[in-house]
Structure 1
Amino acid sequence: MEESMEESLNERKSTCSLGHEGEDKACAFLKENSYRIIERNFRTRYGEIDIITQKDDVLVFVEVKALPSGNAETLSHELDLRKQRKIIKTANFFLLKHREYNNSKIRFDVIVIDMPNLPSVYHIQDAFSEFL
């Protein structure tokens, strides 16, 4: 029993560090493409947004998915309608808290990291809409 708990803990640490590495890669990619990082790991009781960034007059809420052994089906499962709604609700909370962005256009993007058959950083702009 101790071994399985230890394995589970190590697996969680591995997944967590993979996620942080993916977010670091995504931030570097966004900065290289003239985005300004506003906040990382914005958390509320509704959920979390990995990266909040801005380019020109567009405020972008970014979900990062590190999927080194994934595929399109894995991605759609990871980013199902329930997850999208949580991100949107969290984004709305951010906007209530940060009224200086009220006049910005809003977009929800996904950045996929290290998925086979894609570039190492694959940016999907306007991946979903707040009008679900």
Structure 2
Amino acid sequence: MRSEANRNRTYRRGIWAENLAILFLRLKGYRIRGHRFKCPVGEIDIIAESRRWIVFVEVKVRPTLAQAAEAVTGRQQRRINRAAEWYLAHRVGVRERREAAFCRFDAILMAPWRWPVHVKNAWQMEQDMV
């Protein structure tokens, strides 16, 4: 089992990675709509906007970029999909939903001493959720 100190260190590293990802997205021209969004069905690391897209971003930091990519599991994707559906239903107005019209799921992968990798459209929302 992981010690309390190890859990705290992992938590702080995750917060640091999310903040760095926000800066990275802002530099790329994204508008940040939310950070660490929690709802009854899940959570989303970052919610951003780019032109007409609402972008739900999962941030992963691991020792290598390959491990970071592997850490975005199908189970986690389904949980993020449910949280995104909840967000769209409860936090976005009908007019804004119609204008935005598009949403996508991105991942920002991080590893020590490497530039963050932004994977656009990393996965799709399941058909039964749209």
**TM class, shorter-length:** 0.7 to 0.9
Q: Retained in 1: the 8 A contact 2:68–2:110?
A: no
Deviation at 1:74, TM superposition (A): 5.2
Aligned residue pairs, count? 123
Q: Secondary structure at the match of 1:108?
A: strand
Deviation at 1:70, TM superposition (A): 3.0
Counterparts in 2 of 1:115 and 1:128: CA distance versus 1, 3 Å: farther
* Equivalence map 1:103-118=2 (5 Å): 103=98, 104=100, 105-114=102-111
Deviation sequence 1:16-64 (CA, Å, 0-9, x none): 0000110011000000010000000111222110000001100000000
The structure with more radius of gyration: 1
Where do 5+ consecutive residues of structure 2 fail to align? none
Q: Secondary structure at the match of 1:99?
A: coil
The answer to whether structure 1 residue 88 and structure 2 residue 85 are counterparts is no
**In 1, Cα distance between the equivalents of 2:126 and 2:85?**
12
The code of the aligned residue for 1:107 comes to R
Q: Which moved more, 1:7-16 or 1:57-66?
A: 7-16
The TM-score normalised by the length of structure 2 is 0.86
Q: Which moved more, 1:48-57 or 1:91-100?
A: 91-100
The answer to whether structure 1 residue 102 and structure 2 residue 102 are counterparts is no
Deviation at 1:131, TM superposition (A): 2.6
Determine what percentage of the aligned residue pairs are the same residue: 30
* 2:64 corresponding residue in structure 1: 70
